Amino acid sequence: MLDVVVVGAGAAGIGVSTILADLGVEDMLILEREKVGTSFKKWPKEMQLITPSFTTNFYGQADLNSIMARSSPAYFLRKEHPTGREYAQYLESLADFCDLPVIEHTNVEKVTFSKGAFSLQINNGKEIRARFVVWAAGEFQYPNMGIFPGAELCLHNSKVKSWKDMQEEEYFIIGGYESGIDAAVNLSRLGKEVHVLDSDSPWGDKTTDPSLSLSPFTMERLEKEMRNGYINLIGNSKIKKVVRTGNEYLIEIQGSSKKHISKTPPILATGFKSSLTLIDDLFDWDDEESYALLNEEDESTKTPGLFLVGPQVRHEGLIFCFIYKYRQRFGVVANAIGKRLGLDVDILDHYRQEGFYLDDLSCCADECDC
């Protein structure tokens, strides 16, 4: 019987584990299906973090992409917008530096809860039992391929190793948020003609919440590439279905008789399914079943002792899908677990000062004045 099992060794899993280890949690394991940072390693080679890394720790402001206090990807990598592979190196270095108990190549297949304890069924038929489970499995490894009829005919952007591998001269991209525009920009740089289809027009939206609108980094690159004339942005285009006829793909739009014809599988940039589908019965869900319901300690409202960290954390209108957002909840989870284990949690005051312990969410919804 372990005290804590953390599922996932990505940014969220490694980040919360460093605080738990600092707190003195000894009977802990971090289970990773592949290797530390694998999801980042699977990004297209050219994809970069859209939030900028900058070494400001010396002045009391943590690097936006840091997942451990007193660390900085900018300092470690000497990059402002690291690629996925580079960021994975940062995660690996933290796991080694903190001597975290990561068990790689361990797939969690089923989680059950009974009589105050969790049973995790892993590969090879083995079982691990724990008092607390921190779910940090993320979502990148679960592409959403059922969003409309014919989506399985498309190429999900997460399956692209490098945009330089794309040999044709014209491509259709379905989805106009971060990953879709990133694909368009990189293909445009290669001289490819690109058509971006989206049910809305996110490239025209403007809000101070980067979870709802394109980041400045993305908009800057898009505007620059638009001057070259290779990118065609097509809004108000909700996909009805994709049909293959011979060597062509017909993209049908809802409410329109017009069909876009692509000679290559359309590139799907419509996001991912949550890894929570593996344990959805251990959570209550909102009315539309779009996010798991959590209490003020990011614990399942249905299953005591099950905590959620990472990009899937939501509190009504607040979306914590960026690293600098969800890392602010690491200390909240650590505090809850530490108190129940009878540990001294005073050390967490330091994490509050560093921006890794935000328990008052009343200030998170304010818009900028200008």
- In the structure, what pLDDT confidence band is assigned to residue 362 with cuts at 50, 70 and 90? confident
For 255-265, write each residue's pLDDT tens digit.
998 899 999 99
Inform me whether the pLDDT recorded for 316 exceeds 90: no
Among 149-153, 203-207, 230-234, which is the least confidently predicted range?
Answer: 203-207
Q: Tell me what pLDDT residue 57 has.
A: 79
Inform me whether the pLDDT recorded for 367 exceeds 70: no
Q: Angle formed by the axes of helices 84-97 and 11-23, to 10°?
A: 20
Tokens of 315: 């509190």
Inform me whether the pLDDT recorded for 370 exceeds 80: no
Q: Tell me what pLDDT residue 58 has.
A: 78
The structure tokens 């008092």 sit at 131
Please state the rounded mean pLDDT for residues 113-141.
94
Of all residues in the chain, the percent with pLDDT exceeding 70 is 98
Tokens of 318: 């607040």
Dihedral (C-alpha) 75, 329, 99, 24: value to the nearest 10 degrees?
130
Q: Angle formed by the axes of helices 330-340 and 11-23, to 10°?
A: 40
Inform me whether the pLDDT recorded for 126 exceeds 70: yes
Inform me whether the pLDDT recorded for 160 exceeds 70: yes
Please name which of 200, 197, 196, 190 lies closest in space to residue 165, comparing C-alpha atoms. Answer: 190
Please state the rounded mean pLDDT for residues 180-184.
97
Q: Angle formed by the axes of helices 216-226 and 178-189, to 10°?
A: 40
Q: Tell me what pLDDT residue 368 has.
A: 63
Give φ, ψ of 128 to 5 degrees. -125, 135
Beta-carbon contacts of residue 236 (< 8 Å; ≥ 6 apart): 199, 200, 201
Of all residues in the chain, the percent with pLDDT exceeding 90 is 83
- In the structure, what pLDDT confidence band is assigned to residue 60 with cuts at 50, 70 and 90? confident
Beta-carbon contacts of residue 301 (< 8 Å; ≥ 6 apart): 283, 284, 293, 294, 295
Tokens of 275: 């890894």
Distance of CA 124 to the CA centre of its chain: 28
- In the structure, what pLDDT confidence band is assigned to residue 139 with cuts at 50, 70 and 90? confident
Inform me whether the pLDDT recorded for 5 exceeds 70: yes
For 183-223, write each residue's pLDDT tens digit.
999 999 999 999 999 999 999 888 877 777 899 999 999 99
Q: Tell me what pLDDT residue 161 has.
A: 97
Phi-psi region of 130 (alpha: psi -120 to 50; beta: other; left: phi over 0): beta
What's the CA gap between 202 and 181, in Å, rounded?
A: 10
Q: Tell me what pLDDT residue 369 has.
A: 67
Are 174 and 268 in contact, with CB atoms under 8 Å apart? Answer: yes
Q: Tell me what pLDDT residue 194 has.
A: 98
Tokens of 323: 């690293």
Mean pLDDT over the full length of the chain: 94
What's the CA gap between 93 and 270, in Å, rounded?
A: 31
- In the structure, what pLDDT confidence band is assigned to residue 224 with cuts at 50, 70 and 90? very high
Give φ, ψ of 17 to 5 degrees. -70, -35
